[in-house]
Structure 1
Amino acid sequence: MASTSVHAGVAASSSSIQRPRRSWKYHVFLSFRGEDTRTGFISHLYAALTRKGITTYKDYFNLRKGGFISHELLNAIEDSMFGVIVLSPNYASSTWCLDELSKILDCKNDLGQQIVPVFYGVEPSDVRYHKGTFGEAFKKHEQRQDSENLKRWRDALTQVASYSGWSSKNQNEATLVENISQSIHKILIPNLSSSMKNLVGIDSRVEQVINHIGIGLDDVRYIGICGMGGLGKTTIARIVYEAL
């Protein structure tokens, strides 16, 4: 076992720190039909995201009351980096879910939100072309909704079905949940460290730590990063972790 230490003398110039385009309150917003998925798939997915340190909006469990989407929910969608849309058999039967979907797609176009469709127990073609339970749902909506809402919802379903997503078909649910949460985590890692880029003098110290790690060697090493408080020890450790 080898050990080494690295001095962490690092300075940051406030003018050199690249600010993110916007700040997000949540990493993930989950859109789903409660009666299909709340106590099973959604609860497992929420737990997996939380274990990975991914902040997922959760108060909506108690907000789905009445026929109209709440302002709080709309704000939560806008404040989320990812919109994870779990398209289950009864998703389109809920006007609430369809309004959520429309809002999420607006946020993708206007705010750069990332879309993650999950086809849970449905075929993407049924979503795209409004067939099966999706077609049945729209037959009922046609009796009560105006043409503007119907067109908006149909367009949203067609659009979301065009994105590359995840399917539950022939999938172990535990594996599917882990794969979804892991893929989001991989995308989040560089985004979470955007404020650490362009730190003055950081590159040489990160390279020094990586060299001491001895990647590919068949041994175990403890690396101590020493220095006074505020010199950037944690910053170096985090950048090295993300780089590897």
Structure 2
Amino acid sequence: MDVRKNFLSHLYVALDQKGIYTFMDSEEHKKEQISPALMRAIEELRIAIIIFSKGCASSRWCLEELAKIMECKAQKELIVLPVFYKVESREMREGREAYGRAMAKHESNFGKDPEKVKRWKKLFLMPAYGDLEA
């Protein structure tokens, strides 16, 4: 992930120093699917901080984590705090620049499963992000 070794690691340390228990998934994303343990961890969250960066839409892992977080937000009133790191929210909502390229690549790679890519695209078009930015 493009923010893991700089911005995210600093945020993680700052929250930890304030006594806020934080969870950050491991960097190992070699498997096809997100582990059930990570999905359970997301289900147990009370607050989720989503870091949107230029590269997040290119990662299937990030997209699946985001989908699970937004599912929990809808079902369990999870508090979701977005952080836009060197990217504007309208880039993702409008499918511009890195987001548009990433979705086009996913469409090419997942031609056999277009519903997955449609689901991911909807994540970036969700009006909920307007609410999250307020």
When normalised by structure 2's length, the TM-score is 0.90
Q: Which secondary structure does the structure 2 equivalent of 1:61 belong to?
A: coil
- 1:86 match: secondary structure: strand
Bigger CA radius of gyration: 1
| Bigger fraction of residues in strand | 1
Structure 1 outlier segments of 4+, above 4 Å: none
Structure 2 unaligned spans of 5+:
none
Per the alignment, do residues 92 and 62 of structure 1 end up closer, same or farther by CA in structure 2, a change over 3 Å counting?
Answer: closer
Distance 1:70 1:129 in 2: 31
Q: Distance between the aligned counterparts of 2:48 and 2:28, measured in 1?
A: 18
Superposed CA RMSD: 1.6
The total of aligned residue pairs comes to 131
TM-score (norm. length: structure 1): 0.51
CA contact (8 A) 1:117 1:164 kept: yes
Q: How much does 1:82 deviate?
A: 1.0
**Structure number with higher relative contact order (C-alpha < 8 Å, ≥ 6 residues apart):** 1
Question: What one-letter code is carried by the residue in structure 2 that aligns with 1:156?
Answer: L
Summarize the alignment of residues 142-161 of structure 1 with structure 2, pairs less than 5 Å apart: 142-145=107-110, 146-159=113-126, 161=129
Q: Once the two structures are superposed, what CA deviation does each residue of 1:116-164 show, in whole Å capped at 9, x if it has no partner? A: 1111111111111111100000111111212211111111112253233
Cα distance, 1:62 vs structure 2: 4.8
> CA distance change for structure 1 residues 126 and 62 in 2, over 3 Å: closer, same or farther?
closer
Distance in 2 between residues matched to 1:86 and 1:93, nearest whole Å: 14
For residue 93 of structure 1, what is the amino acid of its counterpart? S
- 2:47 partner SS: strand
Q: Does 1:163 align with 2:131?
A: yes
**Structure 1 residue 69, shift from structure 2 partner:** 1.1
* Structure 1 contact 125–161 (Cα < 8 Å) conserved: no
User: What's the % identity of the aligned pairs?
Assistant: 39
